Chains A and B, each alone.
Chain A
Amino acid sequence: MSRISTIPFGPQHPSFLEPLHLKLNLEEERVVSVELSQGYNHRGMEYAMEKDWKRDAFLSERVCGICSFHHGTTYCQTIEAIAGLQVPERALIIRTIMLELQRITSHTLTLGHIAEAVGYENLFMQFFREREEFMRLANLISGNRVHYSMNWPGGVRRDISPETAKELENKLDEMLPKLQMLDGVVRKDSTWLKRTKGIGVLTKEQATTWAVVGPVARASGIPYDVRLSGNAGYHLEGIRFEPVWREEGDCWARAMVRMDETLQSVDLIRQCLGQLRDGPLVAQFKGHPNGEGFSRNEAPRGELMYWIRAKGESKLDRVKIRTPAFVNIPPLAEMLPGCEFPDVPVIVVSVDPCVCCTDR
């Protein structure tokens, strides 16, 4: 007689922020198979984005509230690609600062989220406490906490004033030791390691087969980072970084990659602040884009791509968004079977399947 229990996870569940439904077939507490169902979050955004390309600078941010700026930036980059716009250097730098700032808030969120999933409430609180500091910085620079609404095809709409830059720099100096303390915990804490090390392993082969991106790929031994080849400000002079990657491919490695990238982002923002020189903020552009364009960026969860076909009017012909979570979610079907039930939220959260951008 079969000893299979079927347990629902989501769409509303304490460890998932977003509506995602996992139907877990468990034998005892071991996952036998999993059925993933999505689409709870499908609003029809790509269609809505066809309505008016100017509005999309704001609408594209609403694809996702965690890496909104990455979406906005990638959208603008695509339009810029279509229209052949040259973005001023200052705008590039500001974009990069904001991208990295958002990466920090996103990574600390994910790390806190994993901590919550393993039942380490205190660690969760600590991550979110530090995250709030960065949220405040973003608020200070852009005026908003979540959707910065700073982008515009051709550049940015808000400047970083010298005072703000100073404050940002001071704050980063203040935050670095705190982040390093958390880094120590993520690296060494024994109960945390027990719950994350060796859990949910995605081997390099599997990672290649499933073509995962972002920290998930980098934790499985694939040092793939679009920032190296992307078109945001990372190629500018004076900005240097090496992609962070690890071999293990387990939950701990994914957490560790994010932790290291957080520290790296702090460093990158500092580099950018050093490169912040006077100049125009936005390249002026009249008329409507016409033609096809493609652009990508390294969002906190990996490679984000926009492809747009415009037809020289305010309406766009087609907008296609390929989000990182779109490729990162499917491997769950291979990672979850065989694991223990309590590890399910940990694995799922460590992959960080954002539904809102996948469903759009």
Chain B
Amino acid sequence: MLRSTFKNLFSHPNTKRYPSVPADLPQGNRGRVEWDMKKCIWCMLCQKNCPTGAIKTDKAGKTQSVVRNRCITCGRCVEVCPTQTIFMRQQYSKPAMEPEIHIYGAEMMQWEYRVENLPILNHKKKV
């Protein structure tokens, strides 16, 4: 132990100095799911297969929304989507002061998000 202690002392620290250096995300990291809305055929498979109910597909309003704080990045939705509308980004979703819902609309260029009163927060009453 003595030897390694001295070795440590005089070697460069192992620390990755995040946030000064970017996060260490390996290739294929499951960061967060996103929608490429042009392709969606509104088959609802993603919503049905999501194990945590993070996805809400609004067929009428032509939006897909995902609650970031519900998604467990299992990649199931990516897998089941027949049109590869959904894809996984390497970058993980960021923390925020409130649980975030990201909404993807067919007409939107990029996702935009708004914070909504999450239905799940009142879940307790149902139980």
A interface residues with partner B (beta carbon < 8 Å): 52, 54-55, 58-59, 62, 122-123, 126, 129, 132, 136, 139-140, 142-144, 147, 149, 157, 181, 185, 189
Contact = CB atoms under 8 A, between A and B. Distances in A.
Given A54-B49, A143-B29, A149-B30, 20 more contacts: A58-B51, A58-B76, A62-B72, A122-B1, A123-B1, A136-B24, A139-B25, A140-B26, A140-B28, A142-B30, A143-B30, A143-B75, A143-B88, A144-B29, A144-B30, A144-B73, A147-B74, A149-B72, A149-B73, A185-B1
Contacts of B24: 136
B14 interface: yes
Interface in B44-76: 49, 51, 72-76
A140 B28 CA distance: 7
Contacts of A140: 26-28
Nearest to B53: A55
A181 B24 CA distance: 26
B4 interface: yes
A140 B26 CA distance: 5
A185 B3 CA distance: 11
Contacts of A149: 30, 72-76
Contacts of B14: 129, 132
A142 B72 CA distance: 13
Contacts of A147: 72, 74
B5 interface: yes
Nearest to A126: B4
Interface of B: 1, 4-5, 14, 24-30, 49, 51, 72-76, 79, 88
A54 B49 CA distance: 9
A181 B51 contact: no
Given A143-B30, A143-B88, A122 B75 contact: no
Contacts of B5: 122
Contacts of B4: 126, 181
7 contacts: A55-B51, A58-B72, A129-B14, A143-B29, A143-B30, A157-B79, A181-B4
Contacts of B49: 54
A59 B14 CA distance: 34
A139 B26 contact: yes
B90 to A, nearest CB: 9
Given A122-B1, A122-B5, A143 B72 contact: no
Given A123-B1, A143-B88, A58 B28 contact: no
A144 B88 CA distance: 12
Contacts of B30: 142-144, 149
Contacts of A189: 1
Q: Would you list the 4 A-B pairs with minimal beta carbon distance, nearest first?
A: A143-B30, A140-B26, A55-B51, A149-B74
A263 B117 CA distance: 50
B75 A157 contact: yes
Nearest to B28: A143
Contacts of B75: 143, 149, 157
A160 to B, nearest CB: 11
Nearest to B90: A143
Contacts of B51: 52, 54-55, 58-59
Nearest to B29: A143
A132 B24 CA distance: 11
Nearest to B88: A143
Contact of A136 (B1, B26, B28, B74): B26
B77 to A, nearest CB: 12
B31 to A, nearest CB: 9
Contacts of A144: 29-30, 73
A85 to B, nearest CB: 18
A189 B73 CA distance: 42
A294 to B, nearest CB: 24
Of the listed residues A54, A58, A143, A189, the one surrounded by the most CB atoms of chain B closer than 10 A to its CB is A143
Nearest to A56: B51
Contacts of A142: 30
Contacts of A126: 4
A123 B29 CA distance: 30
A185 B79 CA distance: 46
Contacts of B88: 143
